[in-house]
Structure 1
Amino acid sequence: MEREAMDLGVYAARARTGPCFVCAYLDGDLDYQHELVYEDEAHVAFLDRWPTVPGKVLVAPKAHIEHVVRDLDEAAFRALMLVVRRVALAVEDVFAPERTYLLSLGSQQGNAHVHWHIAGLPLGVPYEHQQFHALMTENGVLAPTPEQSVAMGTRLREAIAGGQHPEQGQM
């Protein structure tokens, strides 16, 4: 996949003044479409629109929650983290990364809806291009074709459905 520059000004304006991107996606807003990877009654996971690594997925509660620790009771937090783990295991099954990064980003100033980034670091990335460098859109984003996104989504959904991880039965 080719890497392309990202217009950070346009992105920041969208994140800070547009609708909540998770809620807009869930409402079916065509400007906020993503390739679905997983969904249950309380959570959703979809491919990142601006991935910095192949198969980067976002996981979010469907309810508009803005604080990952204080707005979720223990049961809701555990349920969300089990979904994050389940999806992360699928990312590992499909992309065989060297390491899987899990981050909850956003702020009250933009992208306030709680969401977790699941990013599998591809094998062979030089150390100086790993960690935060690998996740920063300032270093460019991948531009998968619609067909590539559908194929990645299909592979991830199949890995989630076929996962044999014992904890998955508890969801």
Structure 2
Amino acid sequence: MTGSVRRPMDLPAYEERARRGPCFVCAFLAGHPDYRHEMVYEDADHVAFLDRWPTLPGKVLVAPRQHVDHVVSGFTEDAYTRMMLVVRRVALAVEAVFAPERVYLLSLGAKEGNAHVHWHVAALPRGVPYAQQQFHSLMPEHGVLEVPPAESARVAARLREALA
């Protein structure tokens, strides 16, 4: 995602959307136009798509198709294992496409907002100063990348190719 510009994130609007709007994963899967994302991977039980407000280039979200609220206990052992294998597979594709210094994996969300379990797969570019790595690089308070739709489509295509 070369040439992407970082812009401030409207955190109050984001929180309002997360807390009062529909489940963003379920709305995306239902085809709601306000919740559109570039699909990277899908199978019968899982989806992976580009983050709408990425803090790092090519940031992908991986989620079960079924609405699950609890990141560990919400799954059977088999379903959790399959979910984590998809997360790993997507992370390997992100690694192949972006050749980052490190790939971060984390699951965020809360009962009050963004409750649908999802994992963030984020590639830390090489050369980022230590003070701007880890949590700093993931926090939208430090801005989000404004990625043109054509660039998002190109990145999604590259990731789909790496996943094939």
Q: For this structure pair, what is the TM-score category when the shorter chain's length is used for normalisation?
A: over 0.9
2:76: which partner in 1?
A: 73
Gaps in structure 1 of 5+ consecutive residues: 162-171
| CA offset digits 1:26-52 (Å, max 9, x no partner) | 000000000000000000000000000
Q: 2:131 aligns with which of 125, 128, 132?
A: 128
Paired with 2:74 and 2:145, the residues of 1 have a C-alpha distance of 33
What amino acid sits opposite 1:111 in the alignment? N
1:167: which partner in 2?
A: none
1:140: which partner in 2?
A: 143
1:156: which partner in 2?
A: 159
Task: Return structure 1 stretches of 4+ with deviation > 3 angstroms.
Answer: none
Paired with 2:15 and 2:122, the residues of 1 have a C-alpha distance of 21
- Measure how far apart 1:10 and its partner are: 0.1
What amino acid sits opposite 2:101 in the alignment? E
2:92: which partner in 1?
A: 89
What amino acid sits opposite 2:78 in the alignment? A
1:64: which partner in 2?
A: 67
Q: 1:53 aligns with which of 52, 56, 59?
A: 56
What amino acid sits opposite 1:132 in the alignment? F
Q: TM-score, normalised by structure 1?
A: 0.94
2:10: which partner in 1?
A: 7
Paired with 2:20 and 2:52, the residues of 1 have a C-alpha distance of 18
- Measure how far apart 1:8 and its partner are: 0.1
Q: 2:119 aligns with which of 92, 109, 116?
A: 116
2:41: which partner in 1?
A: 38
